[in-house]
Structure 1
Amino acid sequence: MSTSLQIIIFFLVGLIGFSQENTFTNPLKSSGPDPYSTYDNGYYYYTNTEQNKLVLWKTKSLANISGAEKKEIWMPPAGTAYSNSIWAPEIHKINDKWYMYFAADDGDNNNHRMYALENISEDPFKGEWKFKGKISAWPDRWAIDGNVFHYKNELFMIWSGWEGNTNSQQNIYIAKMKNPLEIESKRVLIAEPTYNWEKQGDLDDDINPPHVSVNEGPQYLEKGGKIFIVFSANGCWTDYYSLGLLSFTGEDILNPANWEKHSKPIFTKSEENGVYAPGHNSFFKSPDGTEDWILYHANSNPGEGCANKRSPRMQKINWNQDGSPNLGVPVSEDTVLKVPSE
């Protein structure tokens, strides 16, 4: 073989390798409901619902999450109020400490509440994750899907909850936090299912009564001084699970009148692309900070509901002229995407 031909072959092989390392397709792994990530010191720390434990992944690129370093950080003891149905964990770094927020119950869904772990190590893969107890507002009601954020140097939590003690519908609440482990204000209702697209589908079983309307999975999003909450609507057991949008329009973030719900969903199923029930999302920036991305779960086939077939996916988002997020359409599993910009 001539030297020139060897050089060409070497170049082509290298080009193929480069292409594979810089592109990806969804889903990111075969299962992983409620995906969430935090970027710190060159690494993404990723987690998703595992039902009976809390697991953390560490990776330079979320596109490679299926092969990333993985660590079980906590499993609850049996027989407690938080031993079962561990849902929607989120990892946050606040005041140089790490916190993992999650929902759990004692085996009875009616008793779901929010809880937290704390780790004072610089690297959340090191040190000890300590259980710090329940996080609740007044009144103390059913609560899941907590998301924590800073606004004007103060800490707030948003979550999905019930108005009373029975499952008539799920609403979005907000409260001010005294510190990362305590809520100091009363909860404030800022969104409840009102439009028909938030009430599609029902299921009559022990967990989900018929015609239950759902707003859940709230996620804080800010861009250019504009503030939004993206939330999931409909039951996850339906193919109509989708994302809605709240826009903040005032100064007082605890005033319900300052939150405006958009009349139409902003991210829905795509039968053409083979993506069903897209929802329970989070957001992240590319490593170089120039791109905004959505991380979400979805099913590959209709009727797959809330089971472990929900798989994590991601795609870059854009912004509308009015400053609101444009999430586009869930891309197909055949669509080759460029990895986030480094």
Structure 2
Amino acid sequence: MRRVLAALTLIISVLVAPVPADAGQTSLRAADPSVLRVGGTYVGVQSTGAGIAVRQASSPDGLASAAGRTVWTDTGNLGEVWAPEVHFDGGRYYIYFTAGRGSAHRMYVISSATAASGYGGATRLVLPDDKWAIDGTMFVFNGQRWFVWSGWAGDTNVEQNLYIARMSSPTATTGARYVISQPREGWERVVGNPYINEGPEAIRDPNGQLHIVYSANGSWSEQYCLGELRLRAGGDPAYVWDWYKSNGCLFGSNRATMMAGWDPTVTVNGPGHNTFVLLNGDIATSPPAGPRFPLMYHAVPKGTPYAWANRYWYTGTFCWWGNTTYSRANVPGATTDTGFSLKFFE
């Protein structure tokens, strides 16, 4: 009995361990953090409005005070530069980002052998169907490289869906695009015009299953939150009905939209567009079950008017949460799927 009690005490202490003292709001007023670790160095990228800056530090918290070095400038007047995502693949750094105006937003990529210098001109990433696209990110799963992004089905701003396509290299997609999520659940349609699924971020759970965490509800509202898709065991990432969606927000500031068993945030409003701070940005290095691991996201401090200009980068933590059932109705395949979910901590 003593051994059982000791084991339970250890498990509880891991699950309710206090957030590290250095976690929380950084001094960096910005959105859409993207951070990875290469060796002992954390590399973060951000939009400067008309370009992209890279920061390097020995910890996620240190990125805010590190000097930002501009690695690319929009000399070609492409337009608004949004949500750069940094990846490390084959010994090179790749930064994917959106640029454009109105319906012309498209994905671009730059690359270098070093994190904070040496990037060449931007190459347009040609996506299947060539429609409005933002928030693109790359990952490798079961030996196949994939690209996932938020986009429109057609040429008008009706809703933002999540799409996925195979990649033949870090700078080229191949084949068709496949929709894997649409904002059709009540909890992700609180604020719309359009309704959105955006900011996808891939991670692999301790059972080897693929997850994509994404942001739902309008980014201009404190209803912004993180939900997720979990690919069923053995599922095809390109087949929409192999994905199971969380039954509510997993990280948000409004109790009414939270998944049962998940609590709203205490110090921030509208947390969204996270980054998992993985080694080399590789989902093969996703953490095991048990302790909590670094997370960065953007949000607005409670008590501050919710506006894009008031978003800050935040550090936090996350852990895997097992035996979680997601349910669905009126679709092909099984109506429930049980596996790992995620808990997020401010």
Does the alignment pair 1:284 with 2:267? no
Match of 1:49 in 2: 47
Match of 1:293 in 2: 294
Equivalent of residue 88 in structure 1, options 71, 83, 88: 83
Deviations 1:136-184 (A, max 9, x none): 3221100000010001222100000000000000000000011111111
Match of 1:234 in 2: 217
Distance 2:137 2:60 in 1: 20
Gap change, CA 1:158 and 1:227, over 3 Å in 2: same
RMSD between aligned residues: 2.2
For the pair shown, which has the larger CA radius of gyration, 1 or 2?
A: 1
Tell me the amino acid that sits aligned with residue 92 of structure 1: H
> Which 5+ residue runs of structure 1 have no aligned equivalent?
1-21, 203-210, 332-342
Residues 156-235 of structure 1: pairs in structure 2 closer than 5 A? 156-202=146-192, 211-224=193-206, 225-235=208-218
Match of 2:311 in 1: 310
Gap change, CA 1:309 and 1:138, over 3 Å in 2: same
Match of 1:73 in 2: 71
Deviations 1:224-247 (A, max 9, x none): 212100000011011100011101
Gap change, CA 1:184 and 1:66, over 3 Å in 2: same
Distance 1:64 1:247 in 2: 32
In the TM superposition, residue 25 of structure 1 has moved relative to its aligned partner by 4.2
- The 8 Å contact of residues 38 and 279 in structure 2, kept in 1 or not, is answered as no
Query: Which range moves more in the overlay, 270-279 or 223-232?
Result: 270-279
- The 8 Å contact of residues 252 and 265 in structure 2, kept in 1 or not, is answered as no
Equivalent of residue 264 in structure 1, options 239, 245, 248: 248
Distance 2:293 2:230 in 1: 18
Taking only the aligned residue pairs, the percentage that are identical comes to 27
In the TM superposition, residue 278 of structure 1 has moved relative to its aligned partner by 0.5
Distance 2:277 2:209 in 1: 16
Secondary structure of 1:194 counterpart: coil
Equivalent of residue 40 in structure 1, options 17, 31, 38: 38
TM-score (norm. length: structure 2) = 0.79
Gap change, CA 1:285 and 1:92, over 3 Å in 2: closer
- The 8 Å contact of residues 110 and 142 in structure 1, kept in 2 or not, is answered as yes
Distance 2:240 2:57 in 1: 38
Query: Which range moves more in the overlay, 248-257 or 157-166?
Result: 248-257
Does the alignment pair 1:253 with 2:243? no
Gap change, CA 1:143 and 1:151, over 3 Å in 2: same
Gap change, CA 1:233 and 1:302, over 3 Å in 2: farther
Distance 1:303 1:59 in 2: 28
Secondary structure of 1:251 counterpart: coil
Secondary structure of 2:68 counterpart: strand
Query: Which range moves more in the overlay, 173-182 or 259-268?
Result: 259-268
Distance 2:48 2:184 in 1: 31
- The 8 Å contact of residues 232 and 279 in structure 1, kept in 2 or not, is answered as yes
In the TM superposition, residue 266 of structure 1 has moved relative to its aligned partner by 0.6
Residues 133-172 of structure 1: pairs in structure 2 closer than 5 A? 133-172=123-162
Q: How many residues align?
A: 293
- The 8 Å contact of residues 152 and 161 in structure 2, kept in 1 or not, is answered as yes
TM-score (norm. length: structure 1) = 0.80
- The 8 Å contact of residues 53 and 76 in structure 1, kept in 2 or not, is answered as yes
Match of 1:6 in 2: none
In the TM superposition, residue 23 of structure 1 has moved relative to its aligned partner by 3.6
Match of 1:97 in 2: 92
In the TM superposition, residue 124 of structure 1 has moved relative to its aligned partner by 1.5
Deviations 1:187-228 (A, max 9, x none): 1000000111111124xxxxxxxx310000000011221210
